[in-house]
Amino acid sequence: MKKSKRVLVVVGHGSKLKGFQHAMEQVARDIRKKAVFEKVLCAYLEITPPSIEEAVKQAVEFGAAEVRILPYFLLKGRHTQQHIPAIAAAVKMRYKKVRIVLCPYLGYHPKIALAALERTGEVR
Domain-wise residue ranges, the chain:
6-119
Q: What is the pLDDT of residue 36?
A: 95
Chain segment 67-87, per-residue pLDDT in tens = 999 999 999 999 999 999 999
Measured CA to CA, the distance from residue 36 to residue 6 in angstroms comes to: 8
Q: What is the pLDDT of residue 4?
A: 87
Chain segment 89-99, per-residue pLDDT in tens = 999 999 999 99
Instruction: Give the mean model confidence (pLDDT) for residues 91-117.
Output: 95
Q: Are 80 and 47 in contact (CB under 8 A)?
A: no
CATH class of 6-119: alpha beta
63 or 3: which leads in pLDDT: 63
Q: What is the pLDDT of residue 69?
A: 98
Q: What is the pLDDT of residue 123?
A: 72
Measured CA to CA, the distance from residue 59 to residue 67 in angstroms comes to: 7
Which residues does the annotation mark as catalytic?
13
Q: What is the pLDDT of residue 92?
A: 98
DSSP 4-59: PPEEEEEEE---SSTTTTHHHHHHHHHHHHTTSSSEEEEEESSSSSSBHHHHHHHH
Q: What is the pLDDT of residue 41?
A: 98
Chain segment 25-70, per-residue pLDDT in tens = 999 999 999 999 999 999 999 999 999 999 999 999 999 999 999 9
Burial of residue 85 (number of CB atoms within 10 Å: 0-12, 13-18, 19+): middle
